[in-house]
Amino acid sequence: MLHPESPFRLVWLTPAFVFVLGEAFLVPFMLSFDVDTQPNSVLGIAFRVVDL
């Protein structure tokens, strides 16, 4: 169990927050403007990794 104020927990949660924030902006953008991603593109792989 991690202490709520430990530095490791902050380091762990910061990238998670950035990924969630990125998806919160990119998914509506992609749906609104019909941006098609190729399965093997960097963006396509990033979405699959973050969704796991």
DSSP helix, strand, coil percent of the chain (3-state; round to 5): 70, 0, 30
Extents of the domains making up the chain: 7-51
- At 2, list the tokens: 């991690």
- The rounded distance, in Å, linking the Cα atoms of 42 and 46 is 6
**Is pLDDT above 90 for 4?**
no
**CA distances, 23 to each of 3, 4, 5, 12 (Å):** 28, 25, 26, 18
pLDDT digits (tens, 9 = 90+) for 9-39: 999 999 989 888 988 888 898 889 988 778 7
**Would you state the pLDDT for residue 1?**
79
